[in-house]
Amino acid sequence: MLSLNYIRENKHTILAGLEKRQFKPLSIIDEIIALDQKRREQKNELDNILAQANQKAKEIGMLFKQGKAEEANELKAATVAFKEKSKTLQESLQQTTAALHDLRTQIPNIPHDLVPNGTSEKDNKIVFTGGEIPKLADDALPHWELASQYGLIDFELGSKITGAGFPVYKGKGARLQRALINYFLDKNTAAGYEEMQVPHLVNADSGFGTGQLPDKEGQMYRVPEDDLFLIPTAEVPLTNLYRNQLLQAKELPICLTGYTPCFRREAGSYGAHVRGLNRLHQFDKVEIVRIEEPQNASAALEEMVNHVKGLLADLQMPYRILRLCSGDLGFTAALTYDFEIFSTAQNRWLEISSVSTFNSFQAERLQLRYKNKQGKKQLVHTLNGSALALPRVVAGLLENCQSPKGIKIPDVLVPYTGFEWIN
């Protein structure tokens, strides 16, 4: 959420950014500024009324001490008007504040200057390509057939137990999942990220803090009896660890990592592009989160991108990095880099990670500040990224590493799996 100070002082920058996003109506910014002015006027008036009431209360107290009870009671009766006026002003201020908050929640983050103009994923810019696309035999199989052939994943059993999008991993498939999780966590902690185990359910305040609510409420699984939500990503609980806190500059940066299952009620569709592991309602993911001083956030983003590049290089995966255009940028993000691996058997690119910086957008919602070296309180900047999401990593690994002998496990994973081949 954009801070009111930022909106007041950067109207033209905000309008340009919203236009870049194709956000409408732009008039909402003028509405916010007008409501903010009204709120401040109401608050000043209320403060003045309360100050006068306080002064009268002191005068009444002095009169009683002086034995002038009759004068005190007369003055006390006259203060009734102050109380009625203050009550009316408080109610109006609450209504104005609520309306202002509602409008502010509708405004997405302002895109970074590096974000290319565009309306859809077709306009995303490829900024890096790594690894080599393997040449497979003509009879190479997609991952869902490989998973069935080698008894790794049972999609039908998952549908029986829960429904579509909830696979059951078996044998070496389950072992491969565990190996990838442990490998990613080990790599992340070695890079300076502190491992955390966090709840898989969050309250509405947490969902609001990182921007999933109200923007993505329809994509989240909800437990209505307790008003809780299953997490769509570990970003939500990890970042919310610091909600409503005032940090010291010496505590920053904060670098966290954690493994969680993720739950997403994404609208179902049909076809090969969503078969197998291509799109799930429950999946495993290892996340990295950073809380930074504003001046260090750009360097932190670059470091996170390079870290994910290193993971994919270790796995010997063919991949590319895209800088998302304005039309494909998430609601809360200021700048996002998507990582995609090439699925050789499907002959298509599969997204496996997003690394994003949010500037102070999440921090404003979280009320997460720090005291800089000059002693001034200001909002932190937050960042997060997948390091990595497992389903499409597994899909790419099964397809790209297949051979007549079986599926060759990348060397870095062998100590974690305990086996070199799936055959």
CATH number at residue 311: 3.30.930.10
Q: Does residue 115 fall inside a structural domain?
A: no
The pLDDT assigned to 288 comes to 98
Same domain, 59 and 152: no
Q: Does residue 112 fall inside a structural domain?
A: no
Pairing type for strands 194-195 and 201-203 reads unpaired
Q: Does residue 110 fall inside a structural domain?
A: no
Q: Report helix angle 28-65 to 80-104, nearest 10.
A: 160
Same domain, 129 and 181: yes
Per-residue pLDDT tens, the chain, 423 aa: give them: 999 999 999 999 999 999 999 999 999 999 999 999 999 999 999 999 888 877 877 877 887 888 877 777 777 776 777 788 888 999 999 999 999 999 999 999 999 999 999 999 999 999 999 999 999 998 999 999 999 999 999 999 999 999 999 999 999 999 999 999 999 999 999 999 999 999 999 999 999 999 999 988 889 999 999 999 999 999 999 999 999 999 999 999 999 999 999 999 975 544 556 789 998 999 999 999 999 999 999 999 999 999 999 999 999 999 999 999 999 999 999 999 999 999 998 999 999 999 999 999 999 999 999 999 999 999 999 999 999 999 999 999 999 999 999 999 999 999 999 999 999
The pLDDT assigned to 119 comes to 94
The pLDDT assigned to 55 comes to 82
Same domain, 146 and 55: no
The pLDDT assigned to 70 comes to 76
Same domain, 47 and 131: no
Same domain, 180 and 48: no
The H or E element that residue 208 is part of is helix 204-210
Q: Does residue 54 fall inside a structural domain?
A: yes
- Neighbouring CB atoms inside 10 A of 272's CB total 11
- Across the strands, what pairs with 300? none
The rounded distance, in Å, linking the Cα atoms of 63 and 275 is 83
Q: Does residue 272 fall inside a structural domain?
A: yes
Same domain, 10 and 136: no
The pLDDT assigned to 200 comes to 98
Q: CA-CA distances (angstroms) from residue 249 to 134, 158, 240, 363?
A: 47, 47, 19, 15
Only one residue has tokens 């880099």, namely 337
- Residue type at 341 in one-letter notation: I
φ/ψ region of 128 (left if φ > 0, alpha if ψ in -120 to 50, else beta) reads: beta
The pLDDT assigned to 268 comes to 52
- Residue type at 423 in one-letter notation: N
The rounded distance, in Å, linking the Cα atoms of 202 and 238 is 11
Q: Does residue 415 fall inside a structural domain?
A: yes
Pure H helices in 24-122? 28-65, 69-78, 80-104
Same domain, 72 and 125: no
- Number of structural domains (the chain) is 2
The pLDDT assigned to 292 comes to 98
Q: What range does the domain containing 39 cover?
A: 4-104
The pLDDT assigned to 234 comes to 98
Q: What are 149's two structure tokens?
A: 């052939």
Same domain, 173 and 321: yes
Q: Does residue 129 fall inside a structural domain?
A: yes
Same domain, 240 and 158: yes
> Which stretches of 21-140 are assigned E, i.e. beta strand?
125-130
The pLDDT assigned to 53 comes to 79
